[in-house]
Amino acid sequence: MVGAHKVIQIDSLILIENKINNAPDQPDQLPRYFIAAQQTSQLDAILYLSMDGSRAPNESNWRSADPAELRKLIKIIGACTGKEDDLVTGWLNDHALQAADARYRLLAEQYAELLQHSGGLFMPYADMKRFFDFVMEDENLENAKALIEYMRELLTFRSRKVLDAFQAATSAFYSSGLDPVDGFPFFKGLKALPDEEIKLLLIPEADSYRIEFYNQDRNLEPVSRVLRSVSMLQDFTVDSESGRYFRTFSFPAEEKVFYEYVQKLLNRIDSLDTHTI
C-alpha cells in the first residue's frame, strides 16, 4: 500500500486484519493502518477477522486516530462459525468455490477445509444437529463411518476410471496421465499443433465433471481453432481470465453423457492434422 519510495493511489480499499491464529494487537495497530490507508485511497471498511468472530480489537493502545472514526469502519467477522456471514460460508463457499479455474477452486476448497478443521467446525450447526440425530439411530454410526471412508476415495477412483477409459482411446496427444499434484486426468501436447502447449483436463469434482481445454500460454486462439475444426466450439464456455475453454456435466446424473461426450471429442480430435486446423 505504501512503498518505500512512492505512494500508490487506489480508488477504494478494504483492510483485513487477520487474527485467526490469535496474534495480539500491536500498539496503535489499526490507527496506524487507518492513517496509511487515508493517504492512498478511500477506506471502505476494516475487517477484523478471528476464528470464531468473538474477538474485538484492543482499543486501549489506540493513540493516533479517533476511536469513534475507526469504530464506524470496523466489522468483526469469524473465519468459521457456521453462520452465513463468516469467511467460509459467506466468501469461500459462495464465491471462491464458484470460480472457473479448477486449481483456484481446489485451493479455496482446501483453505476452507483447513479453517473448518482449525475451528473445530465442519458443518453448520443445524446440519450437524440433523446428522447427530441420524447417527443416534440403530447402526447408523457404523454406516456413516463407512460412507465417509468411501467418499474420501471416490474422487481418486473417478479420476482413475476416467483415465482408464480414455488413455488408450486416443493417440492425438504426446502424453497423458494423472496430474502429480492435483490428481486430475490430463492429455498434453496436441500432435496436430506441435508448436503449441495444448492441454486437456478431465476433472472429477464432488458433484460434477469438468472439461478444460487450453493452451498453457493462455492464448485462446489455437484451442478455438481446434474446437472449431471439430465443430464443437459452441459446446464450450470461455474463461478469458484463465485462458481456458470449459464445459461441465453434473455427477452422477450425467455420468454416461460425460463419457459419451469425451469419447466423441477425442474421436474428432484424432482425425485432425496440421492441414485441417
List of domains in the chain: 12-78 (no CATH), 96-137 (no CATH), 157-270 (3.30.1460)
| Residues 208, 211, 112: CA angle, nearest 5 degrees | 50
Q: What is the mean pLDDT of residues 2-16?
A: 63
The model carries a pTM of 0.57
Residue 77 β-bridge partners: 49
Res 78 pLDDT > 80 = yes
CB-based contacts of 236, cutoff 8 Å, min separation 6? 211, 213, 227, 245, 246, 247
Question: Residue 199 phi/psi, 5° resolution?
Answer: -135, 140
Q: What is the tens place of the pLDDT at every residue in 83-108? A: 778 888 878 877 776 777 777 788 88
**Across all residues in the chain, what is the average pLDDT?**
88
Q: What is the mean pLDDT of residues 142-154?
A: 89
Which pLDDT value is given to residue 17?
93
Which pLDDT value is given to residue 119?
65
78, 90, 91, 15: which is closest to 49 by C-alpha?
78
Of 5-14, 74-83, 131-140, give the lowest mean pLDDT range.
Answer: 5-14
Rounded CA-CA distance 9/32 in Å is: 18
Res 212 pLDDT > 90 = yes
Which pLDDT value is given to residue 120?
60
- Counting beta carbons within 10 angstroms of the beta carbon of residue 92, is it exposed (0 to 12), middle (13 to 18) or buried (19 or more)? buried
Burial 135-156, CB ≥16 within 10 A → b, else e = eeeeeeeeeeeeeeeeeeeeee
**What kind and span of H or E run contains 19?**
strand 12-19
Contact in structure between 17 and 46 (CB atoms under 8 Å): yes
Q: What is the tens place of the pLDDT at every residue in 214-267? A: 999 999 999 999 999 999 999 999 998 889 999 999 999 999 999 999 999 999
Which pLDDT value is given to residue 132?
87
Top pLDDT among 154 and 114 is at 154
Which pLDDT value is given to residue 154?
94
